[in-house]
Amino acid sequence: MERATEEILKQRLSSQGLERVKNIPNPRLHDFLARFLELLNPDRVYVSIGTPEDLEYIRNKALENGEERKLAIPGHTIHFDNYGDQGRDKKNTGILVPKGVDLGPSIETKDRDSALLDIQKIMKGIMVGKGAYVCFYCLGPTNSAFSIPCVQITDSSYVAHSENILYRQGYNEFLRQGPDTRFFKFVHSQGELDERKTSKNLDKRRIYIDLEEDIVYSVNTQYGGNTIGLKKLAMRLAIYHASQEGWLTEHMLVMGVHGPENRVTYFTGAFPSLCGKTSTAMLEGETILGDDIAYLRKKNGLVYAVNVEQGMFGIIQGINSKDDPIQWKALHSPGEVIFSNVLVTEEGKVHWIGKDGEVPPRGENHSGEWWIGKTDTNGKEIPCSHPNARFTLSLSSLDNVDPRLHDPEGVVIGGIVYGGRDSDTSCPVEESFDWEHGIITKGAILESETTAATLGQVGVREWNPMSNLDFLSIPVGRYIQINLDFGKGLKNPPRIFAVNYFLKNRNGQYLNEKNDKKVWYKWMELRVHGEVDAIETPTGRIPKYEDLKVLFKRILNKDYSREEYNEQFMVRIPEHLSKIERVKTIFESKVKDTPPALFEALEAQRKRLLEYREKYGDYISPDQLISR
């Protein structure tokens, strides 16, 4: 350790903290800590290496300083974010790039030089009078080819507490990987707090990702999507490195679907927020490895995946005892759970949009004191909880956690699923013709309606390739090409599917019930193993009625009619053609270096649609295709 660095750390750290840091033989880590502790200038620093005592200390501090409060159920706490700090801040989130680097108009970037001056000015001395935490984590399982060590500096007990739940402790991973290891760095300050202990200076909210130094900066914000740096912010760093090293970082769940004779087939799935991702990962009868972010690597001609996390930062809206029994049980059992931006009653009970039972008449929520009928400054009624209200818990508290959650080898992937909000075009489940067709027509041209998980207008249909557009740190065209190339050399590539839980009829009624997805995944599991046939359409392969009828009866004890089937799986030619034109325009105008294969695949699909329309008309029932 250089003398200047050592002197700074001696001044800033306790004797125990200094010993813990010096035990890691990585001079770049020492320099990073010295540099930013000087900039932030906290009054005191607690270095956590993840011992039970460390974890307990941080939990207690979150209660002592008011960032969290106890609830009625032991272990449960409530945290509130500022009323204007309830979602990912796209406007003030950016990839830092040097002059002359262009990632394309779809990716928010900031000039690196000016952004670093901006963030350093805002952060200079921001922790005076406060305590800071230095915490060590690992993205992916420890002792694995997937492992990425991380270090976090934050002045928020809530952020540190959340990350202790969500991520594996990484101090030993720093020791294992030695002095030359690459590691990710996170610097966060919630800034000045108001009387509710929420971030006050939202006009100075900044979330910057510096690819050059592998540093994530986050300031004047508490909302987890902006501050839990190892989550979506770290995705940008990981995507950048994965693009150079031949693996993938994806916005995907990982789950085990249980087939005949105790067989488990692992699937990944990419969905934008509030599109059924967590409910899919939590399907009753299946097992969950993760609900949000996956790393994928190739080994011996197979695709392996791990969950980057060990916990869940889930959207709570709509969770109820009937549709979500496993989550419901965890959210009502003693244990470590952080609720954010839900309604809390005087008795310490919580309520949220879509929860069982009557809405309490009064309480406290994201808007402060709340009562039924309370309106905002625009006269709009404020719901009992924010639509993007969350819960944080460990996957180990769920009855359906997969036993291979921490397997350092990962799990072999049999299927990849893409899904979004689509009211009028795609059928409930469809298989692609092959890897290239799937990556392009199921993943790269994915569209979905916006939700409350991001700040801005709700209900606008947006293009979101692989459900990963918000988190890319490389040009979109390059990202798609990397996904296409990933399929090369695979012995038995995972089958690629699309699902759509939000298809409606002409009267605006949903054509799927919430739990119908149980059937779609059982069908996909059988397709992976070649145990059921499919019907070919111009856009992919769909299930046969006879197979779905059996699955609906066995899994849901539901009589599934041919009328339902024909309406759900109708090929909607005009809507598909419109979608192709929409996304072609986007790729032609907004995407640099679009792979030629994408335009070729879209043109081939357009021609198939036109051929089918000439023969069958605009709307084709599966029965017509069977009889051809």
**Which uninterrupted H or E stretch holds 583?**
helix 573-590
CA 193 to chain centre: 27
Please report how the helices 517-528 and 545-556 are oriented relative to each other, as an axis angle in degrees rounded to 10. 120
Q: Within a 10 A sphere around the Cβ of 284, how many other Cβ atoms?
A: 13
Structural contact between residues 498 and 430, judged by C-beta atoms closer than 8 angstroms: yes
Where do runs of H (alpha helix) occur along 213-360? 224-227, 232-245, 277-281, 325-331
Q: Is 150 a catalytic residue?
A: no
The SS3 of residue 397 is helix
- Of 437, 479, 463, the closest CA to residue 597 belongs to 437
Is residue 294 packed enough to be buried (19+ CB in 10 Å), middle (13-18) or exposed (0-12)? Answer: buried
CA dihedral (106, 111, 116, 119) positive or negative: negative
What is the C-alpha to C-alpha distance for residues 506 and 441, in angstroms, rounded to an integer? 25
d(CA 89, CA 232): 12
Q: How many CB atoms lie within 10 A of CB 358?
A: 7
- List the catalytic residue out of 135, 138, 150, 275: 275
Please classify residue 522 by burial: count the beta carbons closer than 10 Å to its beta carbon, then call 0-12 exposed, 13-18 middle and 19+ buried.
buried
Q: Which token pair is 303?
A: 């695709």
Rounded CA-CA distance 467/420 in Å is 8
Neighbours of 561 (CB within 10 A): 12
Per the CB < 8 A criterion, the answer to whether 125 and 41 are in contact is yes
If DSSP codes are grouped into helix, strand and coil, which group holds residue 107? coil
Torsion from C-alpha of 515, 521, 523, 529, nearest 10 degrees: -160
| Total residue count of the chain as it appears in this document | 628
* Residues carrying an active site annotation: 275
